[in-house]
Structure 1
Amino acid sequence: MDWSLLRHPALIRALQGSPLYAALASAMQGLILGGELLPGDRLPPERLMAERLGISRSTVVAAYARLAEAGWVNARQGQGTTVSAGPPGHVAASKRAVRLGNPALRREGSGDPAWVDFALATAVPELAWLQPSAQAASLVLRESAYQPEGMLPLRERIAARYSRQGLPTMPAQVLVCAGAQQAISLLAQHFLQRGDRVLLESPNYFGALDVFRSAGAILDELPVQARAAHAPAFSAALAGGRHKLAYVCPSLHNPCGISWSRSASERLARTAAQGSGLLLVDDSLAELHFAQTPAPLPVPRGAPIVHIGSLSKTLWAGLRIGWLRAPEPLIEALRRAKASADIACSALSSALACDLLDRYDALLAPRREQLQSQAELLLDGLHRLLPQWRVQRPEGGLFLWAELPPRGPDAEAWVEAAAAQRVKLTPGSAMSAHAGFQRHLRLAFTQPAAQALEGLSRLAAIAEEGPTPSSPGMQPDQTGAARGPTSPATRAR
């Protein structure tokens, strides 16, 4: 059999990663996602791969086990290890839940203007944003070295913004990434091993859940609550010392659109400073708060706290620029991990990001106003057309978190029925580590007004006929966390 795969550059680069088995597993995931390994393809025998790569067989065994546990491959005694026939999912999730889970992996209607997409939040930038200034052009031309950590002028601007917001930051504490998703993935790859425990809010961002599952982590969820009410439970769990990593969105939560109070955030920071685990703070939506000026979670001296930010969420999804802000020793380790998979950031994207950050406040003000108007329009439309749905009024961000009536079809039945009418929805189960929130939907409110109203009209027509559930979705949600946030909600009626 041809084992030319063993000479693939991605596997060779993985030998520089740490821990080695995790880097090797991540490299093979990349080959599967890139189509270089197809469903049914057999992976090289463990002994052969170990010999060709010059590593121990136990490292290969651990990498294959990581891939199998996350669902990327199937291992059968006497038949070897083969690539799975479908995308990986949580071992307890049904095939239907996996298929409907991460909306970024669903291709129906992609690019078709006849579809209304409430599943993914996208923003179309102004044409003027995409015309780099002379200064940006100069930055591109001067960028001659590979810089896995990101272009220095860009890191300087990110650091300066953190400092102005009350969190003193040096450029050496910033690592530029291909969006917030890569930032989360780098942290998980470097910091987590199979069996480590991760503490997070529930519901939560599906991209983070996917990363932590792929790392083989055990996910412990606490229900989201607004403002100071949430801090004691989360801080107490973090203080218990059982978790290698905690992931939290205190500035503006995805998907609930709520935030913590300043005192609650400070309490969490003090707790993190006293523990041994890493606190990962995702501020990707923080700049889109409708009323508050963002203030990053404080970092007591020496505290193991990492912040994540992104331009992809605030201005333009097509600009894959995100970042990590972390203690310098951790940044250097992450820089090495990033270099094994992404040796340099795009100079053109980085220069454009410098331009945008120089005008950031001026660009964000109308962006927030537009999003608030779109949120109000969608809320009003739901009130008129789907009055039995319970919907939270968000403090900002990109999404509404809607709860379906206690009787009737569940969220996944709604997703399927809506797809038949060319409407994309995200079921709440995609935002849960343990298949909760089966009576919730996440609705993006980033569409133009006419398109959003057309989508609601199609959903209202489905409601009149009643979507036909194809799973046991007719009963009220019985999962404990699935009742959702306890902050005030508005019942549309």
Structure 2
Amino acid sequence: MDATLSARSLENLLGDWRGDGGSAYRALADRIRLLVLDGRIPVDTRLPAERDLAERLALSRTTVTAAYRELRDQRLLHSVRGSGSVARLPGAPAILPAPPTADYIDFSKAAPPGLPWLADVARAAADDLPGELGGAGFDLVGTPALRAAIADRYTARGLPTHPEQIMVTIGAQHAIALLSRALIGRGDRALIEAPTYPHAYEALRAAGARLVTVPVEPRDGGADGFGAVDEVEALTRAIRHSNPVAAYLMPDFQNPTGRSLSADARERVLDAAARQGTVVIADETTAELDIDRGLDLAPLAAYGPAVMIGSVGKTVWGGIRVGWIRAERPLLRRLLAVRSPNDLGTPIMEQLMVTRLLDRMDDILELRREQLRAGRDRLESLLAGAFPDWHVPHVDGGIVTWVGLGAPVSSQLALAARSQGLIIAAGPRFGIDGAFERFLRLPICYSAETTDAAVQALSRAWGALARTPVPADQGVLGAVV
């Protein structure tokens, strides 16, 4: 059954949509289009009736009717008499990343390019394949060699781990979805940071969770880069008062703010969760991407009970779809029961590659550290010159920076940027109910050439906001962030 969006909920998502000039119906259509394209209004969602939305927004019904008509012309709405208007996409290519030949710079993805020696690793891993061919090839828990390598990595980082505590998954997103289905029943509360990784809260919502948000603020690197006392108090208070069944956190180099939790903060949060029976899910996909934080922190589960998620998507390459879950054996048995009806395991060849890559992880992280330092410093310098009024936090690790624009125009800027050949993820993509229009997430993991071109396009888009209405004929937006 299609989900239905009330007029009040759509008003919250729209935020400050009217702009400084131009027709109201075009401005309304533009904002609804962005909400559909970047997933804040899911496909197959029924929009409010024209009369209801007009009353809520204090508009004439004619204005809303014209906006809906324009969206239908753009194939973003499908309307049936008596059944309302349902969000659609004009074909899958509209939300897929632009192909290499397209005239777009895709600055929406926070992921580095593949390792330069990855092809050599693939060829070497092929030599290991004959040893696996005697089995069926359907692997729901992971090869023994890879599980042992992941366990050894945790142990070396200060968290003693046995291979039987590891389940190998098809990337970190798959791990989040599995845990959501295993832990959450429809109507259960789940705590998330705000802003946060959007594909995580989407998975929690898909499992039926009612989301409880706790604010996270970016802080410049160094000692102030760690979770402040008030943030930790907000986390512990939310756990006590809302009693969530699960809490999804990114304790190291949080995406998108770059914030890390101190050792004391980790202990306090985990203690509060243990008292309430809340399962803490710690996403560590960026945890080892330390540029110059200056403090060695163990994985979150070294400070108290927590389920760990990891992957090689941010360290090796997003095209290697291998992640993992570290949990106690009873939970792994529940995950196995949830997983088997939906997929038949992680590809063996990719597991063989990651087994070899984990032996070289220290070298990989050193390479990434230098790339990220260069990318961060270059982006900070370019943004300071082009946008002196923006606030650009000095992150000390991770792959992004959470830029303060000084005005609630992030969605408008995302639309304008597409007209300049640049795809960016608007700030509200990382919140719920239209929040974070004053922020923009930008990656620090791109090449100097791409970063230069992206900032130039961003500068043109920023200038265009003050001069002309945002055009309504661009339909390309990154689906993966």
TM-score range, shorter chain: 0.7 to 0.9
2:122 and 2:101 mapped to 1: Cα distance?
33
Letter in 2 for 1:368: R
* Residue 314 to residue 134, structure 1, CA distance change in 2 (3 Å): closer
Q: Which residue of 2 aligns with 1:298?
A: 301
Residue 435 of structure 2 corresponds to residue 443 of structure 1: no
2:462 and 2:124 mapped to 1: Cα distance?
54
Unaligned ranges ≥5, structure 2: 3-40, 48-74, 78-84, 218-225, 472-481
SS of 2:300's equivalent? coil
* Residue 470 to residue 126, structure 1, CA distance change in 2 (3 Å): closer
Pairs within 5 Å for 1:180-329: 180-225=172-217, 226-229=226-229, 230-240=231-241, 242-291=243-292, 292-299=295-302, 303=305, 305-329=306-330
Which deviations, in whole Å up to 9, do the C-alpha atoms of 1:97-116 show, x marking residues without a partner? 998xxx99833633336322
Q: Which residue of 1 aligns with 2:101?
A: 112
Aligned CA-pair RMSD: 3.0
1:273 and 1:140 mapped to 2: Cα distance?
43
User: More relative contact order in 1 or in 2 (CA 8 Å, sep 6+)?
Assistant: 2
After TM superposition, the runs of 4+ consecutive aligned structure 1 residues lying more than 6 A away are none
Letter in 2 for 1:207: H
Percent identity over paired residues: 31
Judge conservation of contact 1:140–1:348 (CA < 8 Å) in 2: yes
2:405 and 2:122 mapped to 1: Cα distance?
48
Residue 128 of structure 2 corresponds to residue 129 of structure 1: no
Judge conservation of contact 1:257–1:394 (CA < 8 Å) in 2: yes
SS of 1:380's equivalent? helix
2:186 and 2:42 mapped to 1: Cα distance?
10
Which deviations, in whole Å up to 9, do the C-alpha atoms of 1:82-108 show, x marking residues without a partner? xxx979xxxxxxx9x998xxx998336
Letter in 2 for 1:117: D
Judge conservation of contact 2:267–2:303 (CA < 8 Å) in 1: no
* Deviation (angstroms), 1:130: 2.5
Q: TM-score, normalised by structure 2?
A: 0.73
SS of 2:432's equivalent? coil
* Residue 288 to residue 111, structure 1, CA distance change in 2 (3 Å): same
Judge conservation of contact 1:183–1:322 (CA < 8 Å) in 2: yes
Q: Which residue of 1 aligns with 2:34?
A: none
* Deviation (angstroms), 1:73: 6.8
* Deviation (angstroms), 1:391: 1.4
1:426 and 1:104 mapped to 2: Cα distance?
17
Aligned residues: 382
Residue 453 of structure 2 corresponds to residue 464 of structure 1: no
* Deviation (angstroms), 1:271: 2.1
Judge conservation of contact 1:202–1:221 (CA < 8 Å) in 2: yes
* Deviation (angstroms), 1:128: 2.2
1:446 and 1:376 mapped to 2: Cα distance?
11
* Deviation (angstroms), 1:423: 0.3
Which deviations, in whole Å up to 9, do the C-alpha atoms of 1:146-176 show, x marking residues without a partner? 3201111111011111111111111111111
1:136 and 1:116 mapped to 2: Cα distance?
33
Which deviations, in whole Å up to 9, do the C-alpha atoms of 1:15-67 show, x marking residues without a partner? xxxxxxxxxx9xx9xxxxxxxxxxxxxxxxxxxxxxxxxxxxxxxxxxxxxxx
* Deviation (angstroms), 1:339: 2.1
1:327 and 1:394 mapped to 2: Cα distance?
33
Unaligned ranges ≥5, structure 1: 1-24, 29-68, 76-84, 88-94, 472-493
Q: Which residue of 2 aligns with 1:452?
A: 451
1:140 to 129, 139, 142: 129
Judge conservation of contact 1:307–1:325 (CA < 8 Å) in 2: yes
SS of 1:210's equivalent? helix
1:176 and 1:133 mapped to 2: Cα distance?
19
